[in-house]
Amino acid sequence: MRSNLGFFSDEKFRSIFFQTLVVGLFALGLFFVISTTSYNLEKRNIATGWSFLQNPAGFDISFSPFLEFKSTDTHLKVYFVGVLNTLLVSITGCIAATILGFILGIVRLSSNWLLSRLVYIYVEFSRNVPLLLQIILWYSILIQLPRVKQSLQVLDVFYISNRGLYSPRPIFESGFSYVSIAIVLALISSFLINRWAKKRQDKTGQQFPVFSSSIGLIFIVPLILFFILGSPLSFEHPELKGFNFKGGLVIRPEFIAMFLALSIYTAAFISEIVRAGIMSVSKGQREASAAIGLKQTWIMRLIIIPQALRVIVPPLTSQYLNLTKNSSLGIAVGYADLVHGFGGISLNQTGQAIECMAIVMATYLSISLTISFFMNIYNRSIQFKEK
Amino acid sequence: MKKLLSIFAVVAFAFSAHAGTLDDVKNRGFLKCGVTTGLAGFAAPDDSGEWAGLDADMCRAVAVAVFGDRSKVEFITTTGKSRFPTLASGEVDMLARNTTWTISRDVNLGFEFVGVNFYDGQGFMVPSALGVSSATELDGATVCIQTGTTTELNLADFFRLNGISYEALPIETNDEGKENLFAGRCDVYTTDASGLSSTRAAASNPDKWVVLPEIISKEPLGPLVRHGDHQWGDVVRWSLNAMIIAEELGITSENVDAQTSSNVPEVLRLLGVEGNYGEMLELSNDWAYQIIKQIGNYSESYEANVGPDTPLEIARGLNALWTQGGILYAPPFR
């Protein structure tokens, strides 16, 4: 009896045995799912395979700011249009949510009772109402704007209607590339100045007006160059022709609704993360820095925020991931993102649900992993460096 | 390995409960029928909350054929996009949902269209204030379009063919289309002409909207079932045909009792007085009699739901019997 159980009393063997068992069961389950699926697909004569990607889509997508899309283009191109639209609303949404979230998180801690109560109400409202409803709410408000023929005119160049916000489109003429080069050079040199000034301050304690000199470099130098070159920039103004405005840049209400809802919703969470981060820095830090006579703004920027960031960044990463994944709700208002365009229309026109969904899922997975990757690098850079 | 695979195949087969839809329906005690999310005249809840319309009647006719009771049906709403997965997964037994019969749906998607209960075509509706009289004048317009439909593809083809541009606003349901059109987010709404009539009838002031004369496609709408279950396909097919044949033979819900003593052989066969056609379908022998008695013939259903006396005001047109200038035609009942 004892000899039979000999294997099992060996810890190493037991551990390997159970791990193999779990992996084996998982593989068996996976095999079962795949074989059942393919068996049933075949039985019901449902087409499979990837060749549909090369077939013409046959439908049009109007919202495609980066790629020209025609109905003769392939389903593969529908996919790329969808990815770009998803990235567009996710990236702009993350930026706006971060800025708004930081401001609100700090205001929430302000000693002004009214301000902090207002932020409190905002946070509780947007965190506790389903995002889908918020998206639909924004969209419903936006399509109640005036009709296109009665557009509101702002500053003579912007037109607002329920078809979107029309603004002039900049047209860059030949000399403008020099201005762009100047801006890039100015950005690089301000970065270098910043580094040099920091080093010098560490060594000698002398300060350098980094901020004002950078502003001068980035704005004034290119501006002077711009006028020397004879203003090589003109604008194409939108004009009401027939049914719609022609020309100009347009931001569609579908995009605005998604952008507003996603950033306002996520900002509420971020503001709580920021508040928690700031409160995690012990009170003594603030008192000590006040005691050595630092200005209030410096205390925040040099003492509190760097320490708070250690607490803020990991949950902030998951908010970015949430926002990106939530952008898949674009379908509710007809925003042509990845799920709506490729995972919706293409899927439905070709009927190849499994292939389309697999691609869409793999894409979200890659986007999320990429965000995590970069946020982890950033996170490592702001952690305490033990010396 | 081969043995293992065949075991899996058997298990998989057992899991796919579509071996006999008719038996499933009978065992369940009611029919699950996929309909639209609400399209007046075709399938929409009426004032008392009962589903009514041409497609709803189609569902009820099948329920009557199987159970002899028009109430033995559960209506399940589907969008243009969800309808096919809903049917393929077995969540519904059949679709009667303004669905266009096309080769790719019939062949590639693994469905079986059993007939046509409405011959339609795609049209355009615009506000009359726009002053547009033809679809070719729509250059640059914003068009509301239901995604995942054949109309979406026809639209792209039509504008491409005419060399004019448009902006598509993809929407999911007819209600969203209505909302966006009435708010002026889009200039034009395009869908099947019957759907436009239905939308127009639902507007607060129908005179403010015009349906343009162009019909840009063939849209034969009909009920469909999963491919491969021929017995069930036959039940649905002949439920529809029974209603059409009844109109041909002049049998209505009112005179059906008197017709059982008719001297026309086909009438007697249809009503189950002669022959055993019900048995062939594994239904009771008076299945068609019950359909006509409880639902009516095709004409009765048409006139009550979409005909000229309803808010939709759709003339019979192509949907008249072949003997009356239309193309409605059912194979003989023998």
Q: Do the domain assignments include residue A113?
A: yes
> What's the whole-number average pLDDT of chain A?
87
Name the strand (E) or helix (H) holding A152: strand A152-154
Cβ of A334 within 8 Å of Cβ of B170? The answer is yes
Q: For chain B, say whether A216 makes contact (Cβ under 8 Å).
A: no
Residues of A with Cβ-Cβ distance to B140 under 8 angstroms: 241-244, 246
What pTM value is reported for the model?
0.79
Q: How many helices (H) and strands (E) does chain A have?
A: 15, 8
**Residue B61, phi then psi, degrees to nearest 5:** -60, -40
Give the distance from CA B259 to its chain's centroid: 28
Cβ of A59 within 8 Å of Cβ of B153? The answer is yes
Beta bridge partners of A170: A235
State what percent of residues in chain A have pLDDT above 70: 97
Q: For chain A, say whether B104 makes contact (Cβ under 8 Å).
A: yes
pLDDT in tens, A188-211: 988 888 888 888 888 887 877 878
Q: Which of B160, B195, B217 is the last residue of a domain?
A: B217
pLDDT in tens, B286-331: 999 999 999 999 999 999 999 989 888 888 889 999 999 999 999 9
Distance (Å) from the alpha carbon of B79 to chain A's nearest alpha carbon: 11
What is the model's pLDDT at position B42?
A: 92
Q: Which of B217, B232, B259 is the last residue of a domain?
A: B217
Q: Do the domain assignments include residue A171?
A: no
Residues of B with Cβ-Cβ distance to A334 under 8 angstroms: 169-172, 176
Closest by Cα among A71, A1, A332, A337 to B168: A71
Q: For chain A, say whether B84 makes contact (Cβ under 8 Å).
A: yes
CATH number at residue A316: 1.10.3720.10
Window 88-117 of A, Cβ < 8 Å to B: none
Residue in B12, B81, B171 closest to A39 by CB:
B12
pLDDT in tens, A259-318: 999 999 999 999 999 999 999 998 899 899 999 998 888 888 888 988 999 999 999 999
DSSP, collapsed to helix, strand or coil, labels residue B18 as: coil
Distance CA B166, CA A62 (A): 8
Residues of B with Cβ-Cβ distance to A39 under 8 angstroms: 8-9, 12-13
Distance (Å) from the alpha carbon of A343 to chain B's nearest alpha carbon: 11
Cβ of A143 within 8 Å of Cβ of B179? The answer is yes
> Does position A42 have pLDDT exceeding 80, yes or no?
no
Name the strand (E) or helix (H) holding A84: helix A75-108
Q: Do the domain assignments include residue B16?
A: no
Distance CA A161, CA B139 (A): 20
Residues A17-32 have a mean pLDDT of 93
The tally of domains found in chain B comes to: 2
Distance CA B173, CA B101 (A): 19
Domain of A309?
75-150+253-382
Closest by Cα among B254, B225, B227, B260 to B240: B225
Residue in A334, A351, A353 closest to B108 by CB:
A351
Indicate which of B147, B154, B189 best probes the interface with A, i.e. most A CBs within 10 Å of its own CB. B147
What is the model's pLDDT at position A97?
A: 96
8 A C-beta contact, residue A163 and residue A152 = no
My answer on whether B198 and B255 are in the same domain is: no
Q: Do the domain assignments include residue B333?
A: no
Cβ of A44 within 8 Å of Cβ of B228? The answer is yes
Residue in A60, A242, A349 closest to B168 by CB:
A60
Q: For chain A, say whether B5 makes contact (Cβ under 8 Å).
A: yes
Residues B177-197 have a mean pLDDT of 88
Roughly how many angstroms between the first and final C-alpha of chain B, as a whole number?
A: 51
Q: Do the domain assignments include residue B7?
A: no
Q: For chain B, say whether A162 makes contact (Cβ under 8 Å).
A: yes
> Taking the C-alpha atoms of A84, A89, A92 and A97 in order, what is their torsion angle to the nearest 10 degrees?
-150
Cβ of B140 within 8 Å of Cβ of A144? The answer is no
What is the model's pLDDT at position A203?
A: 86
Q: Which amino acid is at A201?
A: Q
**Residue B59, phi then psi, degrees to nearest 5:** -60, -45
Name the strand (E) or helix (H) holding B259: helix B256-259
Using the structure block, give the residue that is written with the tokens 């008249």. B320
For residue A158, count CB atoms less than 10 angstroms from its CB and return exposed for 0-12, middle for 13-18, buried for 19 or more: middle
**Residue A65, phi then psi, degrees to nearest 5:** -70, -20
Q: Which two tokens stand for residue B173?
A: 């349901």
Distance CA A159, CA A151 (A): 6
Find the residue in B nearest to A32 (Cα): B8
Distance (Å) from the alpha carbon of A77 to chain B's nearest alpha carbon: 16
Closest by Cα among A375, A366, A364, A370 to A330: A364
Q: Do the domain assignments include residue B8?
A: no
Count of all residues that appear for chain A in the document: 387
Neighbours of A316 (CB within 10 A): 25
Q: Which of B167, B187, B217 is the last residue of a domain?
A: B217
> How far from A328 is each of A85, A385, B12, B205, CA to CA, in Å?
10, 39, 32, 36
Q: Do the domain assignments include residue B9?
A: no
My answer on whether B146 and B280 are in the same domain is: no
Q: Which two tokens stand for residue A356?
A: 């389309």
pLDDT in tens, A308-360: 999 999 999 999 999 999 999 988 888 989 998 898 888 888 878 888 999 99
Domain of B283?
21-119+221-324
Residues B190-208 have a mean pLDDT of 86
| Residue A387's pLDDT band (cuts 50, 70, 90) | low
Distance (Å) from the alpha carbon of B58 to chain A's nearest alpha carbon: 24
My answer on whether B164 and B209 are in the same domain is: yes
Window 293-322 of B, Cβ < 8 Å to A: none
My answer on whether B115 and B233 are in the same domain is: yes
Q: Which amino acid is at A152?
A: L
pLDDT in tens, B26-44: 999 999 999 998 888 999 9
Closest by Cα among B288, B266, B271 to B334: B266
Q: Do the domain assignments include residue A329?
A: yes
> How far from B112 is each of A234, B99, B118, CA to CA, in Å?
59, 12, 16
> Does position B257 have pLDDT exceeding 90, yes or no?
yes
Residue in B8, B147, B159 closest to A344 by CB:
B147
My answer on whether B33 and B110 are in the same domain is: yes
Q: Which amino acid is at A76?
A: L
3-state helix, strand, coil in chain A (%, to 5): 70, 10, 20
My answer on whether B211 and B296 are in the same domain is: no
What is the model's pLDDT at position A186?
A: 86
Q: Do the domain assignments include residue B250?
A: yes
Residue in B160, B176, B185 closest to A162 by CB:
B185
CATH number at residue B277: 3.40.190.10
Neighbours of A166 (CB within 10 A): 26
Q: For chain A, say whether B208 makes contact (Cβ under 8 Å).
A: no
My answer on whether B276 and B289 are in the same domain is: yes
Residues of B with Cβ-Cβ distance to A147 under 8 angstroms: 184
Residue in A44, A243, A244 closest to B88 by CB:
A44
Distance CA A98, CA A271 (A): 8
For B138-187, where are the E strands, in sequence order?
141-146, 166-171
Q: Do the domain assignments include residue B103?
A: yes
Q: Do the domain assignments include residue B330?
A: no
Q: For chain B, say whether A60 makes contact (Cβ under 8 Å).
A: yes
Cβ of A59 within 8 Å of Cβ of B152? The answer is yes
Cβ of B147 within 8 Å of Cβ of A243? The answer is no
What is the model's pLDDT at position A3?
A: 53
Q: For chain A, say whether B15 makes contact (Cβ under 8 Å).
A: yes
Q: Do the domain assignments include residue A366?
A: yes
> Does position B94 have pLDDT exceeding 90, yes or no?
yes
Cβ of B147 within 8 Å of Cβ of A47? The answer is no
> Does position B17 have pLDDT exceeding 50, yes or no?
no
My answer on whether B284 and B212 are in the same domain is: no
What is the model's pLDDT at position A5?
A: 64
Closest by Cα among A152, A81, A94, A7 to A375: A94
My answer on whether B196 and B255 are in the same domain is: no
My answer on whether B128 and B201 are in the same domain is: yes
What is the model's pLDDT at position A386?
A: 67
Cβ of A334 within 8 Å of Cβ of B226? The answer is no
Indicate which of A30, A40, A60 best probes the interface with B, i.e. most B CBs within 10 Å of its own CB. A60
Residues A87-97 have a mean pLDDT of 96
Distance CA A14, CA A28 (A): 21
My answer on whether B154 and B243 are in the same domain is: no
Residues of B with Cβ-Cβ distance to A351 under 8 angstroms: 84, 104-105, 108-109
Q: How many CA atoms lie within 13 A of A193 on its CB side?
A: 18
**Top-confidence range, A7-21, B4-18, B68-82, B200-214:** B68-82
| Residue B8's pLDDT band (cuts 50, 70, 90) | very low
Quote ipTM for the complex: 0.73
My answer on whether B175 and B305 are in the same domain is: no
The tally of domains found in chain A comes to: 1
